[in-house]
Amino acid sequence: MPASADAPDVDVEHVGSGSRRTRVTRVETSAGDGGRPFVLVAGVGVAATYFEFLAPSLAERGDVYALDLPGFAGMPRPGDQPTAQFFADRVEEVLDHYGLDDPVIIGHSMGTQVVTEVLVRRPQLRHAVLVSPVVNDQESTLPIVAVRFAQSAMRETLHLAMTALSAYVLCGVVYFVQVLPHMLRYRLIERMPHVDASVLFIRGEFDATSPRRFHSRLVAAARHARRWEIRGASHSIINAHAVGAADLIVRHADDSLGQRGRVPAEQAAVPPPPHAGIDVVVSALRERFSEWFSALRGDEAGVERAKERHAHILWRAYSRSGNDPRRSQKP
């Protein structure tokens, strides 16, 4: 977890106009000054809160831009068809707005489809990370995908389940149902041959939605690819196993990562905060609820205040842990 002497600086801004607005949560630390930026794109229905541990870890190396795309996390629902191409347009708006010429761009779940579309359009991007990519084209019907997600969800933590549920409520059933068919029809494996960037594929050991065979075929289809697995993890690696994911992402961006390997679960999991009593837990939950309620009401200033307070609570809970950085190990 972050070891910076300074608390992270969290800012919430918006890019775009009308119902095509994207909420951008910027996370910066003094340790990350001058490093390459990271752009984080979450999956269907979920919010940038999924990156609560990954974002500050990456901010030790460079500024982080975590996106809430239109229709998600309380953002207005657009009138456009919610395709991967539409969401890729929004990501490109963010890249252009901040002048991000060569960020490390990271997608999780359906976010991998959006990131892939951006990569196809922008061959100058050098590194990308696709975490828990979907949909497996050999199991792309709704009943099978639903079963695979249920199998994966059984391995997730209660904290993660509540984080996801709160995000799904903000997204709403109607919009989720509108997005779902486009996600199911998208063929990631057909787009990979058109990607010039060096791509890192990461999956959890127990992720039924993104099986090993699917990753094997994705790597074979890609021009430049690495593949890694995190033991003990399921679909939502970016949260419960953010330590391992951050280490893999940073080493991939530095081109110091092997072509394939596995990370032990104990080295990848987010450790318990060493300075967190019941008061810290209650405060963190209070700020998460405040953020959710503010997003529900359309109070963007309230969203920013709650995000910043929550980030500072986590920083205080972890900042004096004294743990050595955890390194992934090749088997």
Cβ neighbours of residue 208 closer than 8 Å, sequence gap 6 or more:
147, 148, 149, 151, 152
Cβ pair 10, 308 in contact under 8 A: yes
Residue 195 CB coordination number (10 Å): 24
DSSP codes joined into one string, 168-191: HHHH-HHHHHHHHHHHHH--HHHH
pLDDT for 2 equals 52
Look at residue 212 and give its three-state secondary structure: helix
Cβ pair 183, 108 in contact under 8 A: no
Q: Mark the ranges of the chain whose per-residue pLDDT is less than 70.
A: 1-6, 32-33, 320-331
pLDDT for 327 equals 38
**Residue 313 carries which side chain, given as an amino acid letter?**
I
Cβ pair 6, 30 in contact under 8 A: yes
pLDDT for 181 equals 95
266-324 pLDDT tens trace: 999 988 877 777 888 888 888 988 988 998 888 999 999 999 888 888 888 887 543 43
What is the Cα–Cα distance from 19 to 174, expressed in whole angstroms?
Answer: 16
**What CATH code would you report for 9-271?**
3.40.50.1820
What is the Cα–Cα distance from 32 to 35, expressed in whole angstroms?
Answer: 6
What is the Cα–Cα distance from 304 to 211, expressed in whole angstroms?
Answer: 37
pTM for this one? 0.90
